[in-house]
Amino acid sequence: MTELLPNYVAGRWQAGSGAGTALIDPVLGTELARVDATGLDLAEAFGFARETGGAALRALTYKERAALLAAVVKVLQANRDAYYEIATANSGTVKNDSAVDIDGAIFTLGQYAKWGDALGEVRALRDGDAARLGKEPVFLSQHLQVPTPGVALFINAFNFPSWGLWEKAAPALLSGVPVIVKPATSTAWLTQRMVRDVVEAGVLPAGALSVICGSSNGLMDQLQGFDVVSFTGSADTGAVIRSHAAVAQRSVRVNIEADSLNSALLLPDAAPGSDAFNLLVREVVREMTVKSGQKCTAIRRILVPAAVYDAAAEAIGAKLAGVTVGNPRNESVRMGSLVSRAQLNAVRQGLEELKAQASVLHDGSQAALVDADPAIAACIGPVLLGARDADAAQRVHDVEVFGPVATLLPYRDVEHAIALAHRGQGSLVTSLYGADEAALGQAAVQLAASHGRVHVITPDVAQAHTGHGNVMPQSLHGGPGRAGGGAELGGLRALDFYHCKSAVQASPAVLAQLGLSGG
Ligand code: NAP
């Protein structure tokens, strides 16, 4: 029998009392480890984090907590090789794709460590300037932010077991809020291992970081008024979280990152063969294939001028044809597997749904796998679909196939293209490709309302841009409407979620004693 990975709660390692759920290598089909949360004393777990962890973190200044993040970075860097092995085994990803998860996490933590260091030796943050409350500046209102005296519960998705933890933990810990992470069961190993390494290194105060692997049963019930919950996953589970009594009745703050029908838009000025056209083709292929398309930010809809539709189909299809799929341990493989056979079935089912309204322009789904048994491995090659009537193909704007699948859609004019992008009902990101800066700027503003991020690619940033789907800590991650309405990252803005806001109304002499950031 494989190892039952213990949970870390209430300051000690605790095994679940059940048989556990097996974590499977999605390429080889073998069992890797088991996870179980049965029988944990959740009240004790949450109480310990809230009281012991919270008190220890709040006793520190922002600068001191930033040093904790820097120490976590060192621990993770020292164990990086082990993380790559786990990612290959449990997520089926090739090295470049594991890097997005592992090195992306380390980079994000490092960035918050730097920002936190600059906040200085303070325990409260200034929120805007003081405003006078009367004619004379003798009685003022100063908004400030302090850490919420609760716990942050993270319920995470299967596709980013590393980054998903640390992109949330960095602002939470920097804010002074202890973390309990519940990774998605299928890929929980990497999260559990990282927490284990950090705990064993002793770099965080007791109670600052806990991990619960396995069932989510009862977690939400533990949440109290000053706690927060940050959820990443499907819209259906997001709705369950939102309607839980903790949120509905106890006002627990909730951040939801759900699914998203992201788009890429080629502007009318970009003819086939132009730099902008080639940049779109490159980015679409990258987005379809990185992590086998299992990225919440991946391009699902490709909007091109009607006159360019055939050329775009051909260019994207030609590049996809060169993508080798199979065992990520084989050096010749460019794209590994999906996280599970269940996910493979979901992708196949989603493809059938889309095919009812779209035709197949490139079909990699039947291609031979490298070094992998198609009866066992959760691998599928990329599939490009196309719908010549972009308005009629409603499912393409509705159904998120969480795999290497995207649909090409022609538009009449920019207005039509923007209307089609909005049909996603709120997305995490859209990317624009063109050389006409004025047209790009106008389109960006029009798309901002329905997108958390607008990524504009002109030929002059071909080498410098950070990628449509790459979530940088400097920029907001989240999106309105269907995308869940969440707001993560975006520099120090991310700390807002873990803070309580208050307006202190007092004389300038009292306000000077508050010890706020920035003097
Ligand atoms: P999921 O099935 O909704 O699961 C997400 C998490 O919720 C898992 O940890 C899951 O635990 C837990 N969960 C399930 N039922 C729950 C309940 N009743 N109460 C509390 N927690 C519960 O989603 P997924 O299949 O893992 O993730 C894929 C989806 O996530 C995709 O739709 C993708 O678009 C979205 N996603 C969004 C973002 C973003 O930032 N917007 C990022 C990544 C992924 P178990 O694993 O134990 O069931």
Same domain? For 251 and 273 the reply is no
Residue 481 lies in a domain: no
- pLDDT of res. 519: 62
Q: Which of 213, 296, 400, 488 is catalytic?
A: 296
Q: Give, to the nearest 10 degrees, the angle between helix 309-320 and helix 275-289.
A: 50
Q: Are residues 294 and 382 in the same domain?
A: yes
Give, using CA atoms, the residue closest to atom 22 of ligand 1.
216
Looking at the CA of residue 238, tell me the nearest atom of ligand 1. 3
- Residues 317 and 229 placed together within one structural domain of the fold: no
Q: Are residues 438 and 505 in the same domain?
A: no
Q: Which residues form ligand 1's pocket by a CB distance below 6 Å?
A: 155-160, 182, 184-185, 216, 232-234, 237, 240-241, 257-260, 296, 400, 402, 428
335 DSSP assignment: B
368 and 438 inside one domain: yes
From the CB of residue 103, how many other CB atoms can be counted at a distance below 10 Å? Answer: 17
Q: Whose CA is nearest to atom 28 of ligand 1?
A: 233
Residue 308 CA to ligand 1 centre (angstroms): 37
Atom 15, ligand 1: residue with shortest CA distance: 237
CATH number at residue 78: 3.40.605.10
CA 163 to centroid of ligand 1, rounded, Å: 15
**pLDDT tens readout for residues 283-320:** 999 999 999 999 999 999 999 999 999 999 999 999 99
Catalytic-labelled residue, pool 167, 213, 257, 283: 257
Range of the domain at 140: 4-258+487-517
Could you confirm whether 296 is annotated as catalytic?
yes
Q: Are residues 399 and 441 in the same domain?
A: yes
Q: Exposure string (b/e) for 206-234, b if CB count within 10 Å is 16 or more? A: bbbbbbbbbbbeebbebbeebbbbbbbbe
Residues 161 and 102 in one domain: yes
Segment-wise mean pLDDT, segments of 10 residues, the chain, 519 residues = 96 97 98 98 98 98 98 98 98 98 98 98 97 96 98 98 98 98 98 98 98 97 98 95 97 96 96 97 98 98 98 98 98 98 98 98 97 98 98 97 98 98 98 97 98 98 96 98 96 98 98 90
Structural contact between residues 442 and 417, judged by C-beta atoms closer than 8 angstroms? no
CA of 181 relative to ligand 1 center, distance in Å: 13
Do the domain assignments include residue 71?
A: yes
Domain count, the chain: 2
| Mutate-to-test residue for ligand 1 from 21, 24, 156, 158, highest number of ligand atoms within 8 A of CB | 158
Query: Residue 26's closest CA among 472, 312, 393, 376?
Result: 376
Beta strand 125-126 with 31-35 is unpaired
For residue 331, the number of C-alpha atoms closer than 13 Å in the C-beta half-sphere is 0
C-alpha separations of 216 from 35, 182, 508 in Å: 12, 7, 49
Atom number in ligand 1 closest to CA 188: 46
Q: Which atom of ligand 1 is nearest to the CA of 259?
A: 34
Nearest CA to ligand 1 atom 23: 233
- Pocket of ligand 1, candidates 101, 155, 255: which has the most ligand atoms within 8 Å of its Cβ, to mutate? 155
Question: Domain check: are 194 and 112 in the same one?
Answer: yes
- 165 and 71 co-located in one domain: yes
> Are residues 222 and 323 both part of a single domain?
no
Closest CA to 169 of 152, 191, 186, 148: 152
Domain membership of residue 482 (yes or no) is: no
**β-bridge partners, 430:** 263, 454
How far is the C-alpha of 458 from the C-alpha of 443, rounded, in Å? 13
C-alpha to C-alpha distance for 272 and 494, rounded to whole angstroms: 40
- Distance from Cα 184 to the centre of ligand 1, integer Å: 7
Residue nearest to atom 38 of ligand 1 (CA): 296
Q: Ligand 1: which of 192, 215, 296, 297 to mutate, most ligand atoms within 8 Å of CB?
A: 296
CA atoms of 509 and 327, how far apart (whole Å): 67
382 lies in some domain: yes
257 is annotated as an active-site residue: yes
CATH code of the domain covering residue 415: 3.40.309.10
Domain contains 235 = yes
Is 156 a domain residue?
Answer: yes
Residue nearest to atom 8 of ligand 1 (CA): 184
Q: Which of 100, 165, 216, 256 to mutate to test the pocket of ligand 1 (most atoms within 8 A of CB)?
A: 216
Encoded tokens for 459: 């030929």
Residue 170 in tokens: 């960095």
Smallest CA separation from ligand 1 atom 4, residue: 233
CA distance 215 to 183: 10
Instruction: Give yes or no: residues 120 and 211 share one domain.
Output: yes
20 Cα–ligand 1 center, Å: 19
Tokens coding 182: 């519940």
Same domain, 217 and 291: no
Dihedral sign computed on CA atoms, order 430, 431, 435, 437: positive
- Cα 220 to middle of ligand 1, angstroms: 14
pLDDT at 505: 98
What global pTM score does this model have? 0.97
The token pair that represents 103 in the structure block: 């090195």
Q: What is the pLDDT of residue 518?
A: 79
Domain presence at residue 480: no
In a domain, 494, yes or no: yes
Which residue in the block uniquely carries the two structure tokens 């090739």? 94
